[in-house]
Structure 1
């Protein structure tokens, strides 16, 4: 249920809207943003380390038999099924993303949609008064 809410509230608007999210803070250079983001990512990784979890169970794919006949003789070959392991995910990935978001907000960054360059919403250069870093969340 939690992943459905995340999809509905975060990913679906991005997919339908065709826009990415960015972080903005006045008078911030690209280098400053990258340092702040790195610090936030380090903090998040410390609080929510990678925890690999298996989803479901593995299964054996079915075997296949291929038969052909020539001059009244049947020739069959069998290919055994292969093992398909369970899907593995990082159980803490969503919590790390939320922690980074919270940390950046505590440093004064504001999350805003980026629809690409335009006169009304240009992506500013790192030397401008405001730098907007685009990140896909």
Structure 2
């Protein structure tokens, strides 16, 4: 297997509401596509939104599941102030702040929010991974 992820697809309860959250709230660029799915162009990959029950049916698994799903999505940025900006943008878009941005044990700065379907996103500045400018 080649080391890459082409598309991350999230199962959502309300496709229209989730599209609004990601497109209008977070400003992700939506790709033109007809059908009961939405795609957003990201740097290096795509994000897909698909009705949860349809996605479960396609994978031949139960659509029932709540709480922590064992997966987080991460959005790394160039500095602490950008973490705060993205967290505020997400909250304004309707995200629930699960963990406010703060200095963390591994030397960076991060926080978590959840989208309308409870998918966890970490917004982080990691001075060991980020090649760009750093702010304190």
Sort the TM-score into its range (normalised by shorter chain). under 0.3
Q: TM-score scaled to structure 1, two decimals? A: 0.23
- Structure whose residues are more often helix by fraction: 1
Q: Indicate the structure whose relative CO is greater, using CA pairs within 8 Å and at least 6 residues apart.
A: 1
Give the structure with higher Rg (CA): 1
Q: TM-score scaled to structure 2, two decimals? A: 0.23
